[in-house]
Amino acid sequence: MADRQRPVLPIAVLTIAGILALLAAACESTAGTVTPAGTAAPSPTATVPLPDDAPEETLRAWVSSHLSQGFLPDCDLARRPADVGKLCAGLRAERNGVLAYALGPTFSEFTRLFLLQPIDGAWTIIHEETIDPNLPGIPWPLAVGASVIVAVGSDCLQIRDQPGLQAVPVDCLENGTAATISAGPADRDGFQWWRLSGHGWAAGNWLRYPDATPTSE
């Protein structure tokens, strides 16, 4: 019985197959290192551009919507008698991209404090409070792990077993007491509450970073 002979492939077919195999091997060896045409390689660093509008314009909008009064972006620009009765602003400080502005009547003391931060391309008010002359420093945004001090003037700060004004008081920390934030924040009863390690929950309005609180002379 005659042996079966394997069919002989044409030389041209073998040559094409060899070329395709070489190309496939070359592509595998460079996989992951080629950026597709028209696509830029990602930048190792990314920066968030600041809003086009000045932060004072956000304050102007707040004054217009809440108080319906005239506004000056800088109290140093106020002139009598044209600016009497208006409100004006003054930049107090900056920390980690957050700006602290004071607001008040022209030719008088500041009455409000605002914290502004760039969010989604716009200067946004993240905190606003009435200025208390007995409460020193600026209430910069807090974070878990931060070392803070109690800033309550002549009183003490109520510490509770849970966030909220209805929670059980467990301590009252004196002005200047140092503590470490271990948990939070929790929003209750119009305050942002933070847990102080070894103590309990405190309202963040009366917690300050040590370097943000002036020392009394």
Domain ranges of the chain: 55-130, 147-212
Retrieve residue 209's tokens: 């970073």
Amino acid found at 199 = H
Check residue 52 and give its pLDDT: 80
pLDDT computed for residue 50 by the predictor: 79
What is the mean pLDDT for each group of 10 consecutive residues in the chain (217 residues)? 39 44 43 33 46 93 96 96 97 95 97 96 94 87 96 89 98 95 97 97 94 63
Mind spelling out the 3-state secondary structure of 79-124?
CCCCCCCCEEEEEEEEECCEEEEEEEECCCCCCEEEEEEEECCEEE
Q: In this predicted structure, what is the pLDDT of residue 166?
A: 97
**Cα angle vertex 137, ends 140, 121, to 5°?**
30
Determine how β-strand 87-95 pairs with β-strand 71-72. parallel
Instruction: Determine whether domain 147-212 maps to CATH 2.30.30.40.
Output: yes
The reported pLDDT for the residue numbered 49 is: 67
pTM > 0.85: no
Residue 127, beta-bridge partner list: 115
User: Containing H/E element for 5?
Assistant: none
User: At residue 81, what is the residue type?
Assistant: P
